[in-house]
Structure 1
């Protein structure tokens, strides 16, 4: 197998894992993820020894996406708002990851959280200067709000999940931002 094929298979596995964790919860079998990705059991085990390792890779990839997205928002006055919504959307699309990783090393989680918080710091300054971020809001408030958003989508009932996600997003916007 060429490196290009291996990279494509890995990307397919990550995409399938996101969807399968979101649709079927934290206990979905690796074999089911392989099937959804259109690859063999051997391929998934060649890339990921455990469901937790796969979920950790998805989460690390999500953090890298957040960092890239934040970099593109640096000079925008509403960058903090846009990044916040991007993260909430990502949470909705990646339900189940936190449950898979519940036994992960706390330091590992803290490092990812620190990286996300660092993305918000310069955006908050621009947002406050533009009057779009409540004056008292700091990065710890945003990180707590992100945790609240995560809790809101942790249900298998699709209608309830979507309704809760919308309501929580609206409440958090009112608390954090001026518009």
Structure 2
């Protein structure tokens, strides 16, 4: 029982550390990937950081104020353990810049776009259905580029064929 309590305490400490994660150092920055969104308004390419690990995904774009117009962050695989797609819920705690959060189904189509999410908010932003990936871009870019639910999202190796 003492081992279980110690394991639970250690897990809680690790999780709370992720929640208040400090900004990444240049050496810790995730790899970048080109993501293309295609729809009736054409193709739009974003060069985004890829958050693949649980700590990267917990930190996300927290503390960032310099998100390029065609930059952002891709959360894939989601969940980070590579399991089956699942409902996602994000928040904006410690995130000073508004974001568009794009929830992506396993077939590469956009399930939902949460536009211009309010900075620093702890309100949950749900995907509304199981998703395999999430893309965060600068707030307002989805509307600027007429990106819509149902558009397709691709990057090298995705979706798997």
TM-score (structure 1 length as normaliser) = 0.29
**Which protein shows a greater Rg?**
1
TM-score (structure 2 length as normaliser) = 0.31
Per residue, is there more helix in 1 or in 2? 1
Per residue, is there more strand in 1 or in 2? 2
